[in-house]
Amino acid sequence: MNNFEELSDKIIELVGGKSNISYLTHCVTRLRFNLKDQSLVDVEKLESLDEVMGSQLVSGQFQLIIGPQVEGLYEAIVPRISSESVVEENGDQNYDTKKGFDIKSIPSKMLTNMTACITPVVPLIICAGFLKIVPILFGPMLLGLLEEESSTLTILTLLGDLAFHYLPIFLAYTTAKHFKLNPFIGLLLGVLLVNPDLMNLLENGENLTLFGIPIYPADYIGSVLPIILIVWVASLIRKAFNKLSAKAAKNIAYDALTILIVLPIALCILGPLGTILSDYVMAFFMFVYNVFGPLGIGLIAVCYLPLILTGMHHAINLASIMALTTTGADSIVLVGATAAWISVIGVTLGFAVKAKRKQNKNLGITSAFMQAFVGITEPALFGILLPYKRVFLAHMIGSFIGGSLLGFFQVKIYAMLGSAIVIYGGYLGDEISNLIFALVGSLIGAIISFVLVMVFGFDEKKAGKTDILN
């Protein structure tokens, strides 16, 4: 994709012109448009562009799948549209704000808002995951360069745990930005939840109250949902003050009132509610595992890529983050996702070897490289798996077998390191066998996916960009 300027003009025209664009942002692989009139979009012509891998309409947001060069294209589009139509990367714009209340849209909006709050923190969690690997790698378990009593080892371990321990503070900031609340109010509420003195009170106080209201003794260290709920309600209270008068928007007294009002709601209602909801999320995946056993991990692996299409993968990723922050390991969600990601490498390499057309061979090699070393799945998903039914089926079979083997081996992942092959570093833990079993199980799944593509092949003549039935 060399001529971003020409492509930008085409995309702007096909989404209904710059006057139809309310907001534009981008993530790692997609342009994300908030459009005034969806009917003006010419989806067929957009998807016919060589540089476009596909499109989606998610919660009123029109998304164009571009691939790793999306940032260059985004930067070419920005000067061509009104500056008011541009938000930050991974922007926090709420979509469909002008539409009436629709009870059916509540789950979708909840997921959209929660994703917007959590997604900016994910890179930090991945960074912390890499930091957690350092003491394991250089400690007595592997290289032995640092002794167990070493202060260096202690500090490195502490550094890796910080992002997980104080996760509510980071989430308070991103949630405040998303809901247009003063970020420092959000940070103050986040610090409150993990304050050591409050934690001691909650642990030791049998009859702790606030303004006479009993406080549920929850543990908020490493929690996710409580702070998101608290900051969201705080933003609603602050916006209510803003409606009183134009001066209220800048009045510090209203900030203080917001904090005082939300405080009992936070500690007596929302914090405990978020904790209970988190427990139910974790209980659901434990239920899946308890009912289906290792096959449950295989089912998660099979469903993971289809969930990416709907954006629902963020919901189960949330469960993984909660498991990592509360128990220090995830034995279900990320384990299944690992099998799915590695299977993608197998099918794309099989596709590259089996394809007769040069452009398909290049697509297969590029997709395998992007998945293996960059952790981007969209080129494989939209360029290969969706257009070729038998390739997708090969991926699902390989993912299921790989995920089931990982479940059978009872492997655990201790750090979220993205979706590339570096994910294996997250399996370094107390026993090196955990990593070995993770490698063996997922690679068997990938090899099976590769072999199935080689045996059953695919019809290069019939595939379309988004036609999964060919």
Domain boundaries, the chain: 1-83, 118-285, 293-456
The rounded Cα 319 to chain-centroid distance in angstroms is 11
The rounded Cα 402 to chain-centroid distance in angstroms is 22
Residues 121 and 167: beta-carbon distance below 8 Å:
yes
Residue 400 confidence (pLDDT): 97
Residue 194 confidence (pLDDT): 92
Burial of 171 (0-12, 13-18, 19+ CB in 10 A): buried
Q: How many CB atoms within 10 Å of residue 368? A: 22
Instruction: Return d(Cα 347, Cα 385) in angstroms, integer.
Output: 9
Residue 3 confidence (pLDDT): 75
Residue 34 has φ and ψ, to the nearest 5°, of: -105, 110
Residue 431 has φ and ψ, to the nearest 5°, of: -125, 130
Burial of 321 (0-12, 13-18, 19+ CB in 10 A): buried
Instruction: Return d(Cα 94, Cα 116) in angstroms, integer.
Output: 9
Q: Which two tokens stand for residue 363?
A: 């697509």
Residue 1 confidence (pLDDT): 42
Residue 102 confidence (pLDDT): 54
Residues 387 and 470: beta-carbon distance below 8 Å:
yes
- pLDDT of the chain along its 470 residues, tens only? 457 888 888 899 898 888 888 878 777 678 888 888 888 888 888 888 877 877 877 667 788 888 767 878 888 888 888 655 555 444 444 444 344 445 555 666 777 788 778 878 888 888 888 888 888 888 777 777 888 788 888 888 888 888 888 999 999 999 999 898 999 999 999 999 999 988 888 777 667 888 888 888 888 888 889 999 999 999 999 998 888 776 666 688 888 999 999 999 999 999 999 988 888 888 888 888 889 999 999 999 999 988 877 666 767 778 888 888 888 899 999 999 999 999 999 999 999 999 998 888 988 998 999 899 988 887 888 889 988 999 999 999 999 999 999 999 999 999 888 888 999 999 988 788 999 999 999 999 999 999 999 999 988 776 544 433 33
Residues 61 and 33: beta-carbon distance below 8 Å:
yes
SS3 for the chain, per residue?
Answer: CCCHHHHHHHHHHHCCCHHHEEEEEECCCEEEEEECCHHHCCHHHHHHCCCCCEEEEECCEEEEECCCCHHHHHHHHHHHCCHHHECCCCCCCCCCCCCCCCHHHHHHHHHHHHHHHHHHHHHHHHHHHHHHHHHHHHCCCCCCCCCCCCHHHHHHHHHHHHHHHCHHHHHHHHHHHHCCCCHHHHHHHHHHHHCHHHHHHHHHCCCCEECCEECCCCCCCCCCHHHHHHHHHHHHHHHHHHCCCHHHHHCHHHHHHHHHHHHHHHHHHHHHHHHHHHHHHHHHHHHHHHHHCHHHHHHHHHHHHHHHHHCCHHHHHHHHHHHHHHHCCECCHHHHHHHHHHHHHHHHHHHHHHCCCHHHHHHHHHHHHHHHHHCCCHHHHHHHHCCCHHHHHHHHHHHHHHHHHHHHHCCCECCCCCCCHHHHHHHCCCCHHHHHHHHHHHHHHHHHHHHHHHHHCCCCCCCCCCCCCC
Q: Which two tokens stand for residue 221?
A: 């260290």
Q: How many CB atoms within 10 Å of residue 290? A: 10
Residue 344 confidence (pLDDT): 96
Is the CA virtual torsion 112, 116, 117, 123 positive or negative? Answer: positive
- Tell me the angle at which helices 333-354 and 358-369 cross, rounded to the nearest 10 degrees: 160
DSSP letter, residue 19:
G
Residue 160 confidence (pLDDT): 84
List residues bridging with 86 in a β-sheet.
Answer: 24
Q: What is the CATH number of domain 1-83?
A: 3.30.1360.60
Residue 280 confidence (pLDDT): 84
